[in-house]
Structure 1
Amino acid sequence: MSKPSVVFVTGNANKLKEVQKLLSNVTKYEIINKNLDLEEIQEASLEEIARKKILQAVALLPKGQRIVVEDTALGFDALNGLPGAYVKWFLKKMSLDELVKMLEPFEKKTGEAITTVAYSDENGDIKIFQGITKGKIVKHRGNLDFGWDAIFEPLAEEGNTEALTYGEMTKEFKNGLSHRSKAFKLFEQYLVDN
């Protein structure tokens, strides 16, 4: 008999690989992927964005499926959390260098990387999990293939004693301290317990 599945809704191949690795200890479910065209919700509340995203996915997929979505944000402390959930749109209009330059007038160059995971079980009950990693916004260093990874340097107290940006880290090291790994560890524990 095959295992029940959890459908991870994403069109981002890098994100899919990362999440499959993060959930590799969940053995009672098979993590499968569905690329759905979900509306990009514009909202300040990360939890509300994730909740609306999961409701869209539930409406588009067959009833009774376990579904998970995630949304990631990068907030600058000097800008009261902006660009936040809008970082994807900022990066469509500007380079990483221009994004970092936004902080030039400010002394504070810190921020938070946040992933919010929304899960709907087979009954449609929704749970929200969030992971946050604090860091510094720096000139880009390392691999430029994954969004804003190259400009985010997690703080030493987050476990980044070598002062690397996400873009300079191995996938294994990044998965040990990233905002996404923190959110998916909470989700993983929930799946194991339920």
Structure 2
Amino acid sequence: MKVVLASKNQHKLVEMRDILSAQGVEVVLESDVGVDVEVEETGATFEENSLLKAKAVMEATGMPAIADDSGLSVDALNGAPGVYSARYGGDGLDDVGRYRLLLENMRGQMDRKCRFVSVITLCMPNGAVISARGECEGTLAYAPQGENGFGYDPVFFVPEKKKTFAQLTPEEKNAISHRGRALQLFRERLASYLAERTT
């Protein structure tokens, strides 16, 4: 089955392909099927934004479309940056600028509990919707560490691994990450859906 990823993020594409290829799912970019859909992420939750993106791309292409909405939720900041993780601090900041701003906003804060959240949604042209949520608990590091990953990975510390996401290999990260967990659950739900369709 070929599905269109409602994102231009190459990192997300690689992670999704790595996990979903075993299911016989081929994930392609919007550009691969000749569309460029800009979706206003007006949802108040990861679930709402994920659905908005998948539905818009499915409608534009007439093909199954998959979207991931994810972000970092910090307890001491009442869940911020949350659904605004990719836009934290405004459009002028890159990944490094965003996590530096986050570390600055957490200066002196002892409670550093946080979690990465990912919601994966697949919208099918027949109206079916398959969705799954994954979370990974961690703490906010005091300084960036590691070269791998993207986004907030260098400042997301996983206590049981004694490393940040950016210090893990892609395989180690996929095994425990919010997106990895959401995709595993999604994969199970997709398999059930496909099995029902063939019986």
Alignment TM class, shorter chain as reference: 0.7 to 0.9
**Corresponding residue for residue 49 of structure 1:** 49
**Corresponding residue for residue 197 of structure 2:** none
Alignment of 1:33 onto 2:37: no
How far has the Cα of 1:61 moved from its partner?
1.1
Distance 1:96 1:6 in 2: 31
Q: CA RMSD in A?
A: 1.8
Cα shift readout 1:138-189 (whole Å, capped 9, x = no counterpart): 1100116611110101232xxx2xx111101100000110000001111111
Aligned partner letter, 1:131: G
How far has the Cα of 1:67 moved from its partner?
1.4
How far has the Cα of 1:90 moved from its partner?
1.5
Gaps spanning 5+ residues in structure 1: where? none
Distance 1:22 1:96 in 2: 27
Gaps spanning 5+ residues in structure 2: where? 195-199
Q: How many equivalent pairs are there?
A: 183
Cα 1:151–1:8 change in 2 (3 A) is same
Identical counterparts, % of pairs: 25
**Corresponding residue for residue 71 of structure 2:** 73
Contact 2:148 2:165 in 1 (8 A): no
Q: Write 1 or 2 for the structure with the bigger share of helix.
A: 2
Distance 2:7 2:76 in 1: 31
**Corresponding residue for residue 188 of structure 1:** 187
Distance 2:47 2:98 in 1: 27
Secondary structure of the residue aligned to 2:14 is helix
Alignment of 1:124-143 (within 5 A): 124-138=127-141, 139-143=143-147
Contact 1:38 1:57 in 2 (8 A): no
Contact 1:22 1:181 in 2 (8 A): yes
Distance 2:135 2:29 in 1: 24
Distance 1:148 1:155 in 2: 16
Alignment of 1:108 onto 2:106: no
How far has the Cα of 1:98 moved from its partner?
2.5
Cα 1:17–1:144 change in 2 (3 A) is closer
Q: Which runs of 4 or more aligned residues in structure 1 lie more than 3 Å from their structure 2 counterparts after TM superposition?
A: 91-95
Alignment of 1:135-174 (within 5 A): 135-138=138-141, 139-143=143-147, 146-156=150-160, 160=161, 163-174=162-173
Aligned partner letter, 1:59: E
Contact 2:13 2:27 in 1 (8 A): no
How far has the Cα of 1:190 moved from its partner?
1.8
**Corresponding residue for residue 99 of structure 2:** 96
Distance 1:32 1:108 in 2: 40
Distance 1:145 1:153 in 2: 13
How far has the Cα of 1:6 moved from its partner?
2.0
Distance 1:80 1:95 in 2: 17
Secondary structure of the residue aligned to 1:32 is strand
Distance 2:108 2:40 in 1: 30
Cα shift readout 1:18-55 (whole Å, capped 9, x = no counterpart): 1100112112x333332433223133211111121122
**Aligned with 2:18 (options 11, 16, 21):** 21
